[in-house]
Structure 1
Amino acid sequence: MTYQNTLAFAQQCDREDPLAHFRSKFLLPKDDKGNPQIYLCGNSLGLQPVTTKQYIENELTDWAKHGVEGHTDAEHPWLPYHEFLTNSMAKIVGAKPSEVVMMNTLTTNLHLMMVSFYQPTKTKYKIVIESDAFPSDKYAMESQLKFHGFDSKEGLVLWTPRDGEDLCRFEDLEKIMEEQGDEIALLMIGSTNYYSGQHFPLKKITELGHSHNCMVGFDLAHGAGNIQPDLHNTGADFAVWCSYKYLNSGPGSLGGCFVHERHADNKDLNRFAGWWGHNKETRFNMRHEFDALSGAEGWQLSNPPILSMAAIRASLDIYEEAGFDTIRAKSEKLTGYLEYLLDELDNDQIHIITPRDKAERGCQLSIQVKNANKDLHTKLTKAHVISDWREPDVIRVAPAPLYNNYEDVFEFVERLKNVL
């Protein structure tokens, strides 16, 4: 696509956009005068689908109507409710349905996965993460090291950008594994870095980790619904994600979990068990010994919160209708247009630290501000742009392809130009 720096071009792109009508399926925040604000913060909290309220109210109606019998008699029975989400979610993350389950929240799932897939020995115990991983991941890794009796600082190996650079290089990860691979038990990498927006080569990382007899897991908090991680073919041992960012399920909603099918029936793996991971045929016969379900379902703990799952279902139904390949294709073009317009500003006060290669990023661009002046972000907010400031010096902007359009991107850069 050859971009043009005009409102007419942006509006023409919107008229030709096959996903344009999906914008009306979301509730856009409005300013004090009732005008839609420019919302570019789906990487932090996705917008509410119009249907979410009805999906939740349907479950409230069935609860009022059926009471406990709603587990079997509701329009969408509560006992198997998580299964209504599985096929759509599996497509979005590139997995087999048996490898995916929606449950708990992201960091809870990460700890559950660590129980099974972080099995340190006295000599092979270290964990590799990217140096600027999301803090919750770092805290989780440090606590796991402490739990197993290791020094949390010495046992955590950081994959770090080179001096003067913002992005991690794969060859530097190779060097880490070459030098310390015999001591490393787990590679636990954020698939798409929350700060820089860099999307890492998941298959290459997995193959590298496995070649050194390490387990490999990914945090898809900024990947699920944004990029296609192709988890099954990537071969990762596990992955975890949240659903409230690009998956639009509401603040604090449930997370998701992937366990590769080669581990599906490995009952020798340690796990923290709960009754919802037990054989469905005997789950309600309370006197059976634990019998883990096959696949990712076997890591479930408790019966799930139905109201939260109803919100997830509302969003996943939109993804199913739009098709993830189509969503991703628009995302690449839309973020490409944002990149083009930012370059057109030719302003040395800001620069993009996110990779220029569309295969190495999702929809987010991270705009680094010279001298770390948060005033710029404050002025954008006053100009009715909802974006995200991350210390020390980055404004994160994420045009989500389901509800953002080319005119949003054009107007954002016009307002940025004004406040600059």
Structure 2
Amino acid sequence: MSEQSSTHYKNTLAFAKQADADDTLARFRDEFNFPKDEAGNNLIYLCGNSLGLQPKKAKEYVAQELSNWAELAVEGHFKAKIPWTTYHEVMTKSMADIVGAKPGEVVLMNTLSTNLHLMMVSFYRPTAKRYKILIESDAFPSDSYAVKSQIKEKGYNPDDALLLWQPREGEHLNRFKDLEALMAEHGEEIALVMIGNSNYYTGQKYPIKEITQLGHRYGCKVGFDLAHGVGNIDADLHDNGPDFAVWCTYKYLNSGPGAIGGCFVHERHADDKDIPRFTGWWGHKMDSRFNMRVDFDPIPGAEGWQLSNPPILSMAPIRASLELFAEAGFQNIRAKSKKLTGYLEFLINELDDDRIALLTPKNAEERGCQLSIQVKNADRSMHDGFMQAGIICDWREPDVIRVAPAPLYNSFEDVYEMTQRLKELLATL
């Protein structure tokens, strides 16, 4: 499908069906399991920003590892079709391609908040002069909790040591100029700039390269939480150059509830053995890992931050999902995402209802697939109405519906039907 502006969209079911017929990624929809209604019909699922759908191969891949465990027991570490000792390596390249990194800069391990703490152990090194952390004011709670706890653990008070990049009064989106002003005022006091990207509430994608360059200009370390960005935005982590990034895999990467997370450490830190870190035996070089009686010798790159041997049963679904990403090609996925969310935006604007406001940036380069729809005088009953109409989306207090058409499994018809239900629900308010 060629790139389309809003002038080429049409508010008709026929247009949506034709757009799906022309979509070269439409076949991937059949690779996922959809929740169904009582009659056995697929529900319209627009909640990949919270939990992605299950790839159909996930069950097969988990079953294979259960069989390996049953048949090989401990020998599965070396004799399984994909030996458990190197299982994570099978997915490294496809994971690196999605985040725009070199394979040595990426590892799948732990969970998101654990990885964030591990990264802050290494990259938040406060001094008497430089001890502050800067985050966005409406960071995801887990980020805020983790940052505050790290500040306290280092003996500082978050009331003094935590700086917030926040929207201007009456606005919802953060402005880069305001971040520049914060840095100009406090840059010499800031040890770490740690931004969630994309923002979970508004869907705003922050400029990774510009933020990184700004932080480094003032001598700060820079990291990103890509929980709502990975698989959803062009992160280009290697070229953009942050010191680290962390993410989960259960949202846009469709790897299952509570699936393990991922971590990026830029290659300029790859061989620095003097970086303080919490260590575990799986971060030790493979050739002497099982010696057991040698001092810790970290694997160069991101793998050197590993703690324990990977949970194979949890990694199997990630393998199923990342195979689909590799087959589809992330740039193709991103291109469809822009068109699909653009169509959703067009249809919402077609409602022409002054009770509706989009919090998410209009520029497709400043967002992923999520649109955050604010509905004046609405409450959770509107979300319940969507559920009753067979549409699964997401509600955030006090009055925001988050809708995330995921390009690997959502269709233009999904988007069209969602806005038809929204029109009907608005008529009842």
Q: CA deviation at 1:419?
A: 1.1
Q: Equivalent of 1:31, from 29, 34, 37?
A: 37
Counterpart of 1:182 in structure 2 is 188
Report matched runs for 1:314-393 at 5 Å.
314-393=320-399
Name the residue aligned to 1:18.
24
Q: CA deviation at 1:317?
A: 0.3
- Is contact 1:352-1:367 (8 Å) kept? yes
Distance 1:307 1:352 in 2: 40
Q: Is the 8 A contact 1:237 1:259 kept in 2?
A: yes
Residue 132 of structure 1: SS of its match in structure 2? coil
Distance in 1, matches of 2:10 and 2:78, equals: 56
In structure 2, the residue matched to 1:149 is 155
Equivalent position of 1:164 in the other structure? 170
1:294 alignment partner in structure 2: 300
> Is the CA contact (8 Å cut-off) linking 1:194 and 1:222 kept in structure 2?
yes
- Mapped to 2, the partners of 1:64 and 1:308 lie a distance apart of 17
Q: Which residue of the partner structure matches residue 211 of structure 2? A: 205
Q: Following the alignment from structure 2 to structure 1, what is the Cα–Cα distance between the partners of residues 201 and 223?
A: 19
2:120 aligned to which of 108, 114, 118: 114
Distance 1:366 1:113 in 2: 30
Residues 92-133 of structure 1 show CA distances to partners (whole Å, capped at 9, x for unaligned) of 000000000000000000000000000000111110100000
Kindly state the Cα deviation for residue 215 of structure 1 after the two structures are TM-superposed: 0.2
Segments of structure 2 that go 5 or more residues without pairing to the other structure are: none
Deviations 1:358-383 (A, max 9, x none): 00000000001213522211111111
The question of 1:98 aligning with 2:104 is answered yes
| 1:261-318 deviations in Å (ceiling 9; x for gaps) | 0000111110000000001111001100100110000000000100111110000000
Q: Which moved further from structure 2: 93-102 or 343-352? A: 343-352
Aligned residue among 408, 421, 424 for 1:415 = 421
Helix, strand or coil at the partner of 2:222: strand
Q: Distance in 1 between matches of 2:381 and 2:64?
A: 44
SS of aligned partner of 2:86: coil
TM normalised by structure 2 equals 0.97
TM-score of the aligned structures, taking structure 1 as reference length: 0.99
Structure 1 residues 323-366: Cα deviation after superposition (integer angstroms, max 9, x where no partner) = 00000000000000000000000112221110000000000000
Stretch of structure 1 that moved more, 327-336 or 377-386: 377-386
Match of 1:248 among 246, 251, 254: 254
SS of residue paired to 2:164: strand
Distance 1:49 1:380 in 2: 24
Q: CA shift at 1:8, angstroms? A: 0.2
Q: For the residues of structure 1 that align with 2:398 and 2:143, how far apart are their CA atoms? A: 19
Q: State the 1:153 CA deviation.
A: 2.1
| 2:75 counterpart of 1:57 | no
State the identity %.
Answer: 65
Aligned length: 420
- Corresponding residue of 2:221: 215
* Aligned counterpart in structure 2 of residue 71 of structure 1, from 66, 77, 88: 77
Name the stretch that deviates more: 198-207 or 343-352: 343-352
Aligned partner of 1:272 among 273, 278, 300: 278
Aligned AA (2:364):
K
Does the CA contact (< 8 Å) of 1:39 and 1:404 recur in 2? yes
User: Per the alignment, in what secondary structure is the counterpart of residue 346 of structure 1?
Assistant: coil
Shift of 1:392: 2.0
**In 2 relative to 1, CA 307–223 (structure 1 residues): closer, same or farther, beyond 3 Å?**
same
Q: Any conservation in 2 of the 1:46–1:246 contact (CA below 8 Å)?
A: yes
The aligned amino acid for 1:403 is: Y
Q: Offset at 1:259?
A: 0.1
- What secondary structure, in the 3-state scheme, does the structure 2 residue paired with 1:239 have? strand
- For residues 106 and 86 of structure 2, the distance between their equivalents in structure 1, rounded to whole angstroms, comes to 14
CA distance in 2, matches of 1:62, 1:76: 10
User: Are 1:406 and 2:412 counterparts?
Assistant: yes
2:141 alignment partner in structure 1: 135
1:231 to 214, 232, 237: 237
Measure the CA separation in 2 of the matches of 1:122 and 1:196.
35
Specify the code of the residue in structure 1 equivalent to 2:23: D
Q: Distance in 2 between matches of 1:81 and 1:377?
A: 40
Report Cα offsets for 1:29-78 as digits up to 9, x if no partner. Answer: 11111111110000000000011000110111111111100111101110
